[in-house]
Amino acid sequence: MGTAASPFLNPTADRPSGVGYKPTAEALSRRAYQRRQIQGLIGGSYIVDSAILLVYAHAGTTSAIIGPAFAVCGLISITGYILLSEAGFTERFKDHYCVVPQSIISMIIMLAFTYIAPEVGVMFLCTLFVVFAFSSLRSTPWQTAVVWTAMALGLAGLFLLTDKPISLPHGNYLERFATMTVFILTVGRCMFIGIFSSAMRDSLYKSGLALKEANKRIEELAELDDLTGSFNRRCIMRFLDDEVARADRVSAPCSIALIDLDWFKRINDTYGHPTGDEVLRTFAITVFANIRAVDRFGRYGGEEFLLVLPDTAIETAARMLDRLRTIVADLDWSAFAPGMQVTVSAGVAVLKANETSDIFLARADSALYKAKAQGRNRIVTT
């Protein structure tokens, strides 16, 4: 039936990846294989339609030469495309399936045989309908307009410039059988196109979801510290700016804590950097397990971490940090190295009216400095 039978076996497998995209050798091989499959199905369709024409010929409706001639014309067009495809010529085009040229060639064949054998014209016109339906699946709006215009001009020439009596054969049993088969195959091919269209939409939808998830994951990775899984400095500072603006806008309390692992350089020097990394990871996991869902925790730099506590007064924040300090100190750090002890110090500050995030953070840093100066393993508020 011409290009109407051409299914794209994998609708998204060869989709271009953007401007300047160059397919790999594997992609080129896959494309060529798909094109061979498609042309094989097209060839099979021509042969099936030719067999129907032979039934018509046996019924005395048309000449016995029409069926073989139709098959030869179709197979010649297929062979020409395959030769161009195997030579890599079709890869020069964005649409390497060459849907528009193939559709126009198919339409020319259908219209020509409708003119030559109008007594069985119903078969060629039904197939012409399916050709257009198929080509619209892969074409751009401009390409669809080109194919539709070509079809309209061809039909206008056939119906208005000739007086050929295009028939729907049904005079005897064989003609009725052949005509029934034509309609069954036409409906079946249209249904197949619909099934393929649905599969293509589903495939594109699933690909869109996968792409959305991949983009989400990329965004998450761009915001996270590789070592601890907490937010990186850029991200936690953005959260701080947003929370300061929100707290000022709704007059809500907001507290922050700058947390430092005590004597962390000594841990690295004594036990090695791999052990130090495990300490940082364990500390981050411990914090995540003991803060609220609304709180934001990120690595400020080195062994310093920033904890943003929305809608939290200074007294509540101090209790939360002291509880966290106790939990960290009570962990069995000897699992990493015999005799290891890890403690933390923190400076806690509450947002003041009209205070910028920089000043807010500077006060928390000053409180942390006091906690260290007072012997570490303690919480100081400001």
Q: What is the pLDDT of residue 35?
A: 83
In terms of Cβ atoms closer than 10 Å to its own Cβ (0-12, 13-18, 19+), residue 55 is buried
* C-beta separation of 97 from 35 below 8 A: yes
pLDDT band at 195 (very low <50, low <70, confident <90, very high): confident
pLDDT in tens, 205-246: 887 888 888 777 776 667 889 899 999 999 999 999 999 999
So what's the pLDDT on residue 19? 45
Tokens of 172: 């005897």
Q: Give residue 207's pLDDT.
A: 79
Give the chain's count of helices (H) and strands (E).
11, 5
Question: Cα(281)–Cα(290) distance, rounded to whole angstroms?
Answer: 15
| Confidence label for 144 from pLDDT (cuts 50, 70 and 90) | confident
What average pLDDT score do residues 142-161 get?
Answer: 89
Angle between helices 273-288 and 314-330 (to 10 degrees): 130
- pLDDT tens column, 266-309: 999 999 999 999 999 999 999 999 999 999 999 999 999 999 99
340 with 365: CB under 8 angstroms? no
**Statement: residue 126 has pLDDT above 70:** yes
pLDDT at 380 over 90: yes
Nearest residue to 190 (alpha-carbon basis) of 141, 129, 278, 147: 129
Report pTM.
0.54
- List the Cα angle 331/334/336 in 5-degree steps: 105
Sorted by sequence, the CB contacts under 8 Å of residue 31 that are 6+ apart come out as: 14, 23, 91, 96
8-state DSSP, 149: H
> What percent of the chain has pLDDT above 70?
93
3-state SS string for 236-286: HHHHHHHHHHHHHHHCCCEEEEEEEECCHHHHHHHHCHHHHHHHHHHHHHH
H/E element, 126: helix 121-138
Superfamily of domain 233-381: Reverse transcriptase/Diguanylate cyclase domain (3.30.70.270)
- Over range 167-182, report the average pLDDT: 93
pLDDT over threshold 80, residue 251: yes
Please give the mean pLDDT across all residues of the chain: 88
Structure confidence at residue 21 (pLDDT): 55
Which whole-number Å values give the CA distances from 193 to 2, 130, 138, 335, in the listed order?
A: 14, 9, 11, 64
Terminal CA-CA length for the chain: 83
* Residue with token string 């509880």: 323
- Locate the domains of the chain by residue range: 2-220, 233-381
pLDDT (0 to 100) of residue 72: 95
For the stretch 311-349, pLDDT in tens is 999 999 999 999 999 999 999 998 888 889 999 999 999
* DSSP state for residue 94 in the 8-state scheme: S
Separation of alpha carbons 278 and 248, rounded Å:
38
**Residue 11 scores a pLDDT above 50:** no
Q: Is the pLDDT of residue 154 over 70?
A: yes
What's the pLDDT tens digit per position in 33-42? Answer: 888 887 888 8
CA pseudo-torsion sign 16, 17, 18, 19: negative
- The whole-number average pLDDT for the span 354-364 is 94
Cβ neighbours of 159 (radius 10 Å): 12
Q: By percentage, how much of the chain surpasses pLDDT 90? A: 61
Q: Which of 11-15, 71-75, 204-208, 247-251 has the lowest average pLDDT? A: 11-15
Residue whose C-alpha is closest to residue 327's, from 268, 371, 377? 377
Model confidence band, residue 148 (pLDDT cutoffs 50, 70, 90) = confident
